[in-house]
Structure 1
Amino acid sequence: MADSDEGTRDDAGEHGADAEGDGHDHGDGGHEPHREEFHADPMGHTRATAGMTVSELVDGYGDAGIGAAAVNEAGDVLAEMFENDDCTVFLSLAGAMVPAGMRRIVADLIRDGYVDALVTTGANLTHDAIEAIGGKHHHGRTHDPEKSLREHDEGLRDEGVDRIYNVYLPQEHFAEFEGHLREEVFPALEADPDADGSDAVSIADLTRELGRANAAVNERDDVPEGPGVAAAA
């Protein structure tokens, strides 16, 4: 009976294997599974070496993935835009670009002819003018670890300081900016009304006069910081 039982079990094992077999190897036979989306394209690993330029580093990102690959693609798109004389380049500014320290980069791009049209928030133009006439943004912090966020901001308010994330700006600079508008910008706009005689002022006209006034005060008062974005535009 033992021999008979073993034979039965062996036969069943063989028959079971045959019954489950579907003609495909499931990993032990060296065959790769069928894949529609996946194609072999091994990830490269970027190196940073002494003397490497920013351009070389961004080129190296092309072999990488995730954010690095996106930076590489953005660099390629930017280079193609700048090299194509028929391409009209719009630069859009949002967020605290000027308070965060990007003012010179934007102004240089415009002044050097890389940008044809600027689309920006009024806040960036405000902070640009503040720097042009002698105001400065300062390093700060988002919170005081010994206080609640509310207590931290209320303390800054009591000191007359505005916070833009981790950047501080004394409030008196806003008063100086308003005086700049009243004394240097608005009179020129009032002296040159629209052809139809209306009091309406276009954004282009306002930005032009703001840039002119920023540059004039910047030079007159010998401000260490340059005249900035509006003046370049």
Structure 2
Amino acid sequence: MAIKTDEQAEEVIRLQGIGKSYYIGDQEVPVLTHIDLSITKGEFVSIMGPSGAGKSTLMNILGCLDRPTKGSYKLDGKEVANLTDKELAYTRNKKIGFVFQSFNLLPRLSALDNVILPMIYGNVFKKERKERAVKMLESVGLGDRIDHMPAEMSGGQRQRVAIARALVNDPAIIMADEPTGNLDSHSTREVMEIFADLYKMGKTVILVTHETDVANYANRHVVLSDGHISKDFKGRLL
């Protein structure tokens, strides 16, 4: 079987001239300025930079959670600006799995029900929801915690529930915003090994982090500075 070169790899994300500004009264406050970025299928990309560099804003745009002020964003060749709010919601549910620093689990739902939730919005049949959710929780090592509430689990376990929830609709792209920010070193390694395995399975993984050890799980690094890309390279961080 032929191996694709970088030139032949399938492009899933292309940003051209992306800018994002907010307004305080009549004053424009730019957060991102002229971002050009291409990500191909199966890459593991870290997005790094100091606080205020625009990392989370860029992730929100990539994840179709926010719209840019200017520029072009094509996801799988389709211009995101042309999508309706309903189409954006469908895209988020089907194509992208999100993992956040704060887990974003619903505290009154069990691990199982938290993982089932995206399938309700995805119109998955009720019987299939539970089967898929159980398998996904087992795949992240939580088969014995399916009925536990978030408050009954450690931070690492809650993050693994969040990863299971992100994966349950089998998205092609996983986006993680500081997923280890609230975890100890042992839990960090466990969670990052899951992301590494997803990359090996062919998923596209995009990770926002300020931790070098975490970023080094990725094979490409995009560094933001004052709202623009200052570095974009492959290899390990020193």
TM-score norm. by structure 1 comes to 0.28
- Greater strand percent: which structure? 2
Which protein has the larger Cα radius of gyration, Structure 1 or Structure 2?
A: 1
